[in-house]
DNA sequence: TAAAAATATTTTATATCTAAAGCAATAATT
DNA sequence: AATTATTGCTTTAGATATAAAATATTTTTA
């Protein structure tokens, strides 16, 4: 079955490329912005929801466990970048949202992030980028149909 | 600059697809083989080097820190899947290699892993897989030329 | 309405991860 | 040969991750 081998090869290639880029992004976030990818991901999700997100919704969006988000929120909160807001009418829940300082800080990080990606992928033409994105979109839809994780937002978009 | 936007979009798509597949693989490794992706990666690297790998070489191949490999090796070793072998002529170094039990166990995991990938990517034709792999290979080479990480093996190949 | 079930979050026990410090042993310098 | 530098690995401190248990609150059920 050569198709099976081709698919595995594709997977290994995808993994290598993505891990390589992710490695660079983590490194630059740490060196140039004194933060980490998980923290960036949390702030990115919050920046797309200015009214804030409930903790459980946030962990759902990012596809990580509840306890994980608790810890990251604690640390971001200690630094004044996010804040926990009580939800009126439900004393169990909390909404997490960016503070003004968090918004400013994330805007700077997001700008840099876009530049890094653009530079790292500078060898890919706009046409190639569109073609690959389309192909990936097609089979993302296919593989997601097999599973049931449809309504999750992507964790990383800005 | 539409090219920049197209590249960022491509990156987000890549990330989403790879994270999704990786999530499934982690889940199946945990549920069906009572192990984790980092452990699988270590055993995979060792299986491609039957004579074993020095700890430092292993962390280099996997692109993780030294201390990280120490911990994973400790736990795999406790379970009898890998063993530390003294290096004659250099009392600082240790070689890590699969035990017989480790070889058997990994063979089963690797077979399953190949099946999972093939099934998850069943929506991708052999031709599409080859085309995408080639494209990815091209720009992996390009982006790696910018950086200097050339001689690293890929962490995941079997 | 009292009891049971469900929901929202945090806490706990472990594993994974990094950077940096520590410890040994080897190699290079003078 | 003695000092210095380098190399190989482990340990440490702290962040990130999960599953499972614990807490608190709300909703449902009987």
Confirm whether any atom of chain C, the nucleic acid strand, is less than 7 Å from CB of A37: no
Confirm whether any atom of chain C, the nucleic acid strand, is less than 7 Å from CB of B30: no
Distances (CA, A) of A89 to A70, B92, B100: 21, 63, 60
User: B3-16 pLDDT, tens per residue?
Assistant: 888 999 999 999 98
Q: What's the CA gap between B134 and A14, in Å, rounded?
A: 11
Q: Are B63 and B155 in contact (CB under 8 A)?
A: yes
User: B88-108 pLDDT, tens per residue?
Assistant: 999 999 999 999 999 999 999
pTM for this prediction: 0.87
User: A39-94 pLDDT, tens per residue?
Assistant: 999 999 999 999 999 999 999 999 999 999 999 999 999 999 999 999 999 999 99
Residues of B in contact with A124 (CB under 8 A): 7, 10, 139, 142
Strand A82-86 and strand B53-54: pairing? unpaired
Q: What is the per-residue burial (b if ≥16 Cβ within 10 Å, else e) of B102-118?
A: bbebbeebeeebbebbb
Query: How far does the CA of residue B94 sit from the closest CA of chain A (Å)?
Result: 27
User: B39-77 pLDDT, tens per residue?
Assistant: 999 999 999 999 999 999 999 999 999 999 999 999 999
DSSP-based three-state secondary structure for A81: coil
Query: How far does the CA of residue A77 sit from the closest CA of chain B (Å)?
Result: 27
Q: Are B82 and B66 in contact (CB under 8 A)?
A: no
């Amino acid at each position: 079955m050569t198709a099976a081998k081709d698919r595995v090869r594709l997977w290994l290639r995808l993994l290598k490329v993505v891990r390589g880029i992710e490695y660079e992004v983590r490194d630059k976030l740490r060196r140039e912005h004194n933060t980490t990818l998980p923290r960036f991901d949390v702030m990115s999700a919050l920046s797309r929801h200015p009214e804030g997100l409930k903790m459980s919704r946030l962990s759902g969006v990012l596809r990580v466990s509840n306890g994980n988000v608790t810890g990251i929120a604690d640390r971001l909160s200690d630094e004044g970048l996010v804040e926990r807001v009580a939800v009126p009418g439900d004393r169990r829940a909390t909404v997490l949202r960016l503070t003004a300082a968090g918004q400013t800080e994330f805007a700077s990080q997001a700008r840099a992030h876009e530049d890094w990606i653009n530079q790292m992928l500078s060898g890919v033409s706009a046409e190639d980028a569109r073609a690959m994105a389309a192909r990936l979109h097609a089979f993302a839809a296919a593989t997601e149909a097999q599973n049931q994780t449809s309504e999750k937002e992507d964790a990383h978009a800005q």
